[in-house]
Amino acid sequence: MKNLNIFILILALIGGLTACDDQLDVTNPNEQTTVDFGDSESELQEVVIAAYNRIRLEGSFARVGYTLDAVRGDEVWNSSQQWYIDYDRLNSPGTNEIGDMWPYRDWYHVVNRTNYILSKVDDVEMSEDSYNQIAGQALFLRALAYYHLSTYYQTVPLITDYESYSDMNTMFASNSTQDEIFDQIEADLSKAMDMLPSRDEGGEWAQGRATSGAAAGYMARALMFRHKFTEAYPILQDIIAGVYGHYELMNNYGDNFKEDTENNAESLFEVQFMDFGTGGTDEEWTPVNISSEATQGHAVESNYASQELGSWGDLAGSPWLYNLFKEETSTDGRLDPRLYWTLVTYEDEYSNYTDQATDAYPNGDPRSNIVYQEEITKTPLSNSAQGGISIAKWTNARNNIYPNITNGLQCGVNLRLMRYSDVLLRAAECENEINGPTQTAIDYINQVRRRVALPDLELSDFPSADHLFEQIANVERPKEFGCENGRGIDLIRWGFFYDQSRLNQLIEHGYYMLAPKNEAGDIIANTDVVTAETASGSSFQSYNPGHEYFPLFQNILNANPNLEGNSANKSVDNAPAFKEKYNIRPVVELE
């Protein structure tokens, strides 16, 4: 018996010493872990900023994420014939990181940060206003991310719950359909429209942030991608009516492309970059580093500007776009000011405009032949070896704030992602789609034309909705938004890749000349109309069906066994599926 007692005593002793599992909890003394983060309003505000930070990466808006859509379109071609070539020609094999991977990777950074906010925000005590601001911005940014993911990569995984990242099954997510993704985008934006303050209500806070107006504008974009014109139109009308704050066109079209007129009354949303020279010193190249001393600039200028004037010389405006501007003039016979702000060409007459009162600029015309603080006497080459017309937008070629381009993530001109003129032209498009060509539609368009002193359109010139559509799609929008991100998405939503006559039209728009020479044998920037006979080629001749979207990089597929390639990976023609759902307007001749 005594033995037994001793035995029990020993067991008790052992048992007493073994309550050790609790002691296995350790805390990391070196770095803060997520365990004790995200439980306060101020910490969530920090994550909101991190989410904004991710929209200015190379794959989102600091470079290729922005320019890829332009080069996919018909207004821009790849004058260096490298780096962007697979996306200009629409036939990437899925092994080119810059377009097949970077935007995918970087936009999912935004998704991750916003999912974090949205998973935490309900459990943190804060005022309703704070809640609406934090959650609203996260919803807007998530929708922005998915909008760009799905318009670049078609069928991507839809991850909306932060918990998904800690579960093997949901982290290795499979593809969602484009419809599922757009359903989510619409759901997020409709909430954000209600939650966020307008730019008027937000005041100083709203400078550079997502507002209800931004959410509403993107809602209209998202709806129109799926031809939901009847739903988009009232939202656009509300924006015009000032429901989401007061918006108006700037008198000077050029104010949309300068540092000192950022976040103006025309701007619904823009990516914020620090003005040239005011950012830090670290260039955050890919793969993305995190530096508190980031330069906070973009490198679109390094791709868009003239190589002759110091850029990398990658992208050029198409001869079609240039000649589109030349087809009609302002009421005083002068050139459309938008040509000046869109492309860098030498135009004799610019020198005669300078400081004159012109119809477009009654208080003094800013146009001149001074580029990067130097007077030019001929159109500079986009690419020194291949020629091409360099692009003025998102560069300081016209702003003349410095004499030499500093290549890299340095340019400080905020990228205006959505302008009031887009609201007006989209309203016109919706009106035309719903009611056919009407004076209301014409009036929306004329507002945009009057700013640059182009003569009003007349309803009588547009016998059918097809005619007014043609005017909007191939005249008004390219001239207003030439070389801005969005043309490629427009071509997809209009079904231009899925109709042979439309495709032929794209091929015509895409004609370019490689290394054209003058009599002296020097390479020149050709501004003449290029035809099938004179062209070296057109980007759209090599279009491989399915490749209006970009393929997923092979490593993306390798890393996730549940993920399938998209139409570009499989070279599957999206035309039948598109035609089943949506109408493609036929090509019509305009007067």
Partner 1 sequence: MKYIFLILLGMLAFSTATFAERNSDSEQTAMLQADNITVTGKVIDEEGEPLTGATVQQTGTTNGTITDIDGNFSLSVPADATLKISFIGFESTEISVNGTTNMGTITLVSDIRQLDQVVVVGYGTQRKADLTGSVAVVDTEEMKKVSKSNISTMLQGKVAGVRITSDGQPGADPSVRVRGIGTFGNSNPLYVVDGVPMGTTIRDFSPNDIESLQVLKDASAAAIYGSRAANGVIIITTKQGKKEQPLRIDYSGYYGIDQVEDGVYEVMDSKQYGEYVTMAYGNSNMDVPAGYDPNSSKYIDPNVVNTDWQDEAFKTGIRQNHNVNFSGGGANNTYNIALDYYSQEGTIEGAGPNFERYTARANNTMSVKFLEIKTSLVYSHSNQDNMALSNANEYVEGLYGQQFPVMASALITPPTIKAYDQSTWVLDDKLSAASQYRYDSFGYGTYYDDVHGDLRVTNVLLTNGLLERNSVVDRFVASGSAKVDLIDMLGRQSDNHKFNYNLNVSYSKTTAKDFTFVPAFIQSTTNYLSKSNEVLTQGYRSYSAALIENYINYDASFGRHQINTVLGQTFERNTEHTLTGIGNNMPEPYFLQVGNAADTQASTYEREDLLASYIGRVNYNFDGKYLISLTGRRDGSSRLSVDRSEFFKSASAGWRIERENFFPVDESIINMFKVRGSYGELGNDTNLGPYEYATTMQRGDYTYSFANNKVTGSAVSYYVNPTLRWEKKKTIDVGLDLGMFNNKLEFTFDWYKSTSEDLHYDVRVPFSAGVTNEFVKMNAATMENSGLEFLISYRNRQHAVKYEITANASTLQNKVTNLGVSGESRIDGYTRTEVGREVGEFYGYVYEGIYQSQAEIDNYTNSEGQLVNRPDAKPGDVIYADIASEDGTVDENGNPVPDGKITDADRKILGSGLPDVNFGLDARVEWKNFDLSISTFGAAGFKAVDFVDMTLRGSYRTLNKSVDLLNAWTPDNTNTDVPRVAYNADAAITNDMFSERFIQDASYLKIANVTLGYNFPDRWFNGYISNVRVYATGQNLATITKYKGYNVDFAGGTFTPGYNYASYPTPRTVMFGVNLSF
Residues 54-73 that bind partner 1 (CB under 8 A): 54, 56
**Closer to partner 1 by Cβ: residue 46 or 458:** 46
Q: Which amino acid is at 44?
A: L
Interacting stretch for partner 1, rule CB under 8 A, among 50-58, 336-344, 426-434, 490-498?
50-58
Q: Which of residues 114-153 bind partner 1 (CB under 8 A)?
A: 116
Cα pseudo-dihedral 539, 542, 546, 552, rounded to 10: -80
Those residues with Cβ within 8 angstroms of residue 247's Cβ, 6 or more apart along the chain or in another chain: 199, 213, 239, 240, 265, 266, 268, 420, 423
* H or E element at residue 415: strand 415-419
Q: Among residues 119, 160, 261, 263, which is the contact residue for partner 1, using CB under 8 A?
A: 263
Q: Among residues 76, 118, 141, 159, which is the contact residue for partner 1, using CB under 8 A?
A: 159
Q: Is 430 in the site for partner 1 (CB under 8 A)?
A: no
**Closer to partner 1 by Cβ: residue 101 or 216:** 101
The string over 270-298, giving b where at least 16 C-beta atoms fall within 10 Å of a residue's C-beta and e elsewhere, is: bbbbbbbeebeeebbebebeeeeebbbbb
**Closer to partner 1 by Cβ: residue 158 or 309:** 158
Q: Is 169 in the site for partner 1 (CB under 8 A)?
A: no
Q: Minimal distance in Å, beta carbon 127 to partner 1?
A: 20
Q: Among residues 124, 126, 131, 173, which is the contact residue for partner 1, using CB under 8 A?
A: 173
The string over 315-346, giving b where at least 16 C-beta atoms fall within 10 Å of a residue's C-beta and e elsewhere, is: bbbbbbbbebbeeebbeeebbbbbbbbbbbbb
Q: Is 45 in the site for partner 1 (CB under 8 A)?
A: yes
DSSP state of 62: I
Q: Which of residues 360-419 bind partner 1 (CB under 8 A)?
A: none
Cα pseudo-dihedral 296, 313, 543, 426, rounded to 10: 50
CA distances from 524 to 325, 345, 385, 462 (A): 20, 11, 9, 38
Whole-angstrom Cα distance, residue 240 to residue 424?
8
**Closer to partner 1 by Cβ: residue 69 or 270:** 270
Q: Is 51 in the site for partner 1 (CB under 8 A)?
A: yes
Q: Among residues 1, 4, 30, 241, which is the contact residue for partner 1, using CB under 8 A?
A: 30
Residues 83-112, mask of contacts with partner 1 (x by CB under 8 A) = ------------------x--xx--xxxxx
Q: Which amino acid is at 479?
A: K
Q: Minimal distance in Å, beta carbon 39 to partner 1?
A: 12
- Tokens representing 299 are 């490198």
Q: Minimal distance in Å, beta carbon 165 to partner 1?
A: 6
* H or E element at residue 186: helix 178-195
Q: Among residues 85, 118, 235, 274, which is the contact residue for partner 1, using CB under 8 A?
A: 274
The string over 407-438, giving b where at least 16 C-beta atoms fall within 10 Å of a residue's C-beta and e elsewhere, is: bbbbbbbbbbbbbbbbbbbbbbbbbbbeebbb
C-alpha angle 106-258-203 in degrees, rounded to nearest 5: 80
**Closer to partner 1 by Cβ: residue 35 or 520:** 35
**Closer to partner 1 by Cβ: residue 32 or 460:** 32
User: Within the chain, what is the greatest distance between any pair of CA atoms?
Assistant: 118
Interacting stretch for partner 1, rule CB under 8 A, among 165-173, 233-241, 248-256, 454-462?
165-173
Write the burial class of residue 6 (CB in 10 Å: 0-12 exposed, 13-18 middle, 19+ buried): exposed
C-alpha angle 266-268-272 in degrees, rounded to nearest 5: 100
**Closer to partner 1 by Cβ: residue 172 or 346:** 172
Dihedrals phi, psi of 400, to nearest 5 degrees: 55, 35
What residue ranges in 65-156 does DSSP mark as E strands?
A: 76-78
Q: Among residues 41, 43, 180, 200, which is the contact residue for partner 1, using CB under 8 A?
A: 43
Q: Is 12 in the site for partner 1 (CB under 8 A)?
A: no
Q: Which of residues 514-553 bind partner 1 (CB under 8 A)?
A: 553
Per DSSP, the residues of 301-330 read HHHHS-TTTTS---EEE-HHHHHHHHHS--
Rounded (10°) angle between helices 128-153 and 64-72: 50
Q: Among residues 39, 40, 46, 355, which is the contact residue for partner 1, using CB under 8 A?
A: 46
Q: Is 1 in the site for partner 1 (CB under 8 A)?
A: no
Q: Which of residues 291-320 bind partner 1 (CB under 8 A)?
A: 291-292, 294, 296
Q: Minimal distance in Å, beta carbon 100 to partner 1?
A: 10
Q: Minimal distance in Å, beta carbon 4 to partner 1?
A: 11
Q: Among residues 475, 555, 587, 588, which is the contact residue for partner 1, using CB under 8 A?
A: 555
**Closer to partner 1 by Cβ: residue 64 or 389:** 64
**Closer to partner 1 by Cβ: residue 288 or 428:** 288
Within a 13 Å sphere around the CA of 433, how many CA atoms are in the beta-carbon half?
A: 22
Interacting stretch for partner 1, rule CB under 8 A, among 154-162, 243-251, 425-433, 462-470?
154-162
Q: Is 460 in the site for partner 1 (CB under 8 A)?
A: no
Q: Is 8 in the site for partner 1 (CB under 8 A)?
A: no
Interacting stretch for partner 1, rule CB under 8 A, among 166-174, 346-354, 372-380, 508-516?
166-174
Number of residues that bind partner 1 (CB under 8 A): 84
Q: Among residues 130, 261, 272, 406, which is the contact residue for partner 1, using CB under 8 A?
A: 272
**Closer to partner 1 by Cβ: residue 56 or 467:** 56
- Contact present, 411 and 273 (Cβ < 8 Å): yes
Q: Which of residues 200-259 bind partner 1 (CB under 8 A)?
A: 204, 207-209
Q: Is 41 in the site for partner 1 (CB under 8 A)?
A: no
Q: Is 24 in the site for partner 1 (CB under 8 A)?
A: yes
Dihedrals phi, psi of 202, to nearest 5 degrees: -75, -25
Whole-angstrom Cα distance, residue 535 to residue 226?
35
Q: Is 354 in the site for partner 1 (CB under 8 A)?
A: no
Q: Minimal distance in Å, beta carbon 8 to partner 1?
A: 12
Q: Minimal distance in Å, beta carbon 159 to partner 1?
A: 6
- Contact present, 421 and 249 (Cβ < 8 Å): yes
Residues 559-588, mask of contacts with partner 1 (x by CB under 8 A) = xxx-x-------------------------
Whole-angstrom Cα distance, residue 302 to residue 310?
8
Comparing CA positions, the residue from 465, 459, 463, 414 lying closest to residue 435 is 465
